[in-house]
Amino acid sequence: MTSIRSLITALCTSAAFAAPLWAEPVTIFAASSLKTALDEVIETHSIEAVPVYGGSAAIARQITQGADADIVILAHTDWMNWLAIKGTLHSQSRCNLLSNALVVAAPVDAPENDFQTVDDLIAVLNGGRLALGQMRSVPAGQYAQAYLSNMGWLEALRPHLAETSNVRLALALVARGETPLGFVYVSDVAAEPRVRVAFTPDPDAYPAIRYPMAITANARAESAAVAKVIAGANEVFADQGFSAVPANDVGRCE
């Protein structure tokens, strides 16, 4: 398990800490699916922070290109691994903040379904598209691709897919009725009253979803204290549909 407390001590002793806890606004680069919940954490805890949201792949690339980020929270461990290899992270700071689940969303007035075959899913699409994040780079799209591949459905569905640059855009397509179905996170459904869960894929058919958080190598000293607040905001995240990382997860934020 990773201790944010030890990192706070290390960073605070390496820089002058003035009286206010948030001496300067901290910049948080975070996955799009975190927007509703993280905005609430920042507001309810009166954190002086500037959140920047986007797809995890785009965020990772921006940080390696010198973006002014203090804290980064992504929706897939692979992209955080890449940042670590690039040397952009504080080596002691990384931990798994949250977990989530993949669902198929539909407009709020649509019925719930139990898709037993790919033909069942295509029938419900009825000529429309299935929205999902880009399968090569967007975490929600990568998880959906893994699920569809494991089910043997991916090739039959390829002509029916509408890929987006982040999961919230896939959610928006469903909410606006532009697509009848979309792969999103359960937390996205909690954030959008115009959609409902139409189908819940078997979680054993895709990799466990983790949101790793880390402090960047050149972060402001205040960043560690902000990370601690975020790691302790369990109730806010739970209210927004996120799940806690299992207690036996060796990378869990503590």
Cα–Cα distance for residue pair 174/130, rounded to 1 Å: 9
Q: Among the listed ranges 10-24, 62-76, 149-163, which one has the minimum average pLDDT value?
A: 10-24
**H or E stretch at 51:** strand 49-54
DSSP classification of residue 128? -
pTM of the model: 0.87
Tell me the one-letter amino acid at 198.
Answer: A
Q: What is the pLDDT of residues 202-218, one digit of tens each?
A: 999 999 999 999 999 99
**H or E stretch at 5:** helix 4-13
Tell me the one-letter amino acid at 36.
Answer: T
The domains found in the chain, sorted by start residue, are 4-99+209-239 (3.40.190.10), 102-199 (3.40.190.10)
pLDDT at 32: 93
Mean pLDDT of the chain: 91
Cα–Cα distance for residue pair 108/175, rounded to 1 Å: 8
Tokens linked to 116? 């037993």
Backbone φ and ψ for 20, nearest 5 degrees, come out as -70, 145
